[in-house]
Amino acid sequence: MDSEPKQAPRSQPSLVKRLIQSGRYRFQTSELRHRFVSLRHRGLKPNDVFLASYPKSGNTWIRHLLAHMVTQKPTPWRGGIDQTSHSVGRHQHLPSIGTSGRLIKTHEPYRSEYKRSILFVRDGRDVAVSEYFYQKAYSKNFSVYENSFAKFLDLFLRGKTNGYRSWHRHVESWLDAADLDGNDFLVLKFEELKTDTLGCLRKMADYIGIDASDELLHEAVDHCSVKAMQQKEADFWAAKGEANRSFVRTGKSGGWRTHFTPEMERKFWQHAGSAMERCGYERIELSDAPETAPPAPDSQSVR
């Protein structure tokens, strides 16, 4: 186990983030954004491990699990996980973990620098719903969707709701790169993480090279359950006098069916069907949908 991680330096939001939040610039496809992204990828090392996912796919939950495993203690809602993993561009202070390099979070589509990566995949329909509610709560530009999930979904499928392309193009960029020479990826699915958190955490520990006991893994799972995460967040915001704020939702799989119409499902599959099939997700005719969610797809079906 490495020495205690260094304290992450306190910093202001990046220029890119501040410009995006201001609503004055659209960085989704701009050359300026491309240059900023390239700058954030300086100083990487061959043995760094990237925690990769499309936004709203469970990356924060996974970082809490890994932080508990590395530090062997619960982490606070804000700041704690940044001592063991951080976003690309803020990775310089991070310590090496296990027998690997640093743990670096990224939401970017695949890049050639991402040689060693843990890729987290979630059903794109659940991702769309989760991002919709996240933007509804936090985005200053939410009005462009006219409070309509249908409008949001149309832009989501066209890669216009954030700077990371559409969900399907993002995921396929990673899946296409999985078999390239020199790449070593561990692919995990959100649904598998929900049903077998302990098993997935063991896979991550082995991949990173962390010698973690079963007792420590069980402890990490208990302290990072959805209920525990919600309580962590509630305590954090209550202490700041903002008790109504919330980032962690239910973490539910299959919840998209309460928000999609049959036409939305057909449209989603028309655009993202190839990526969904490669990840092992099934198309469901909503008129015939079961009342309960089907079993989580087999993680081995990701290809």
**Mean pLDDT of the 77-106 span:** 91
- The pLDDT of residue 65 is 95
**Mean pLDDT of the 128-137 span:** 94
**Residue 105: strand, helix, or coil:** strand
Query: Identity (one letter) of the amino acid at 217?
Result: L
Please say if the pLDDT value at position 296 is more than 60: no
217-247 per-residue burial string, b: 16 or more CB within 10 A, e: under 16: bebbbebbeeeebbebbbebbeeeeeeeeee
- The pLDDT of residue 49 is 98
Per-residue pLDDT tens over the stretch 195-226: 999 999 999 999 999 999 999 999 999 988 88
First to last CA, the chain: 33
Task: Name which residue leads in pLDDT, 60 or 274.
Answer: 274
Please say if the pLDDT value at position 172 is more than 60: yes
Q: Which two tokens stand for residue 62?
A: 């996974």
Is 3.40.50.300 the CATH number for 19-301?
Answer: yes
Mean pLDDT, rounded, of the chain: 84
Residue whose C-alpha is closest to residue 229's, from 62, 8, 54, 52:
62
What pLDDT band is residue 75 in, cutting at 50, 70 and 90?
A: confident
Residues whose CB is less than 8 angstroms from the CB of residue 265 and which lie 6 or more positions away in sequence, other chains included: 125, 283, 284, 285, 286
**Mean pLDDT of the 237-244 span:** 60
User: What's the pTM?
Assistant: 0.82
What pLDDT band is residue 109 in, cutting at 50, 70 and 90?
A: very high
- The pLDDT of residue 3 is 45
Least confident of 120-124, 143-147, 287-291: 287-291
Residue for token pair 């704690």: 80
Centroid of chain to Cα 303: 19
Residue whose C-alpha is closest to residue 248's, from 41, 28, 1, 64:
64
**Residue 270: strand, helix, or coil:** helix
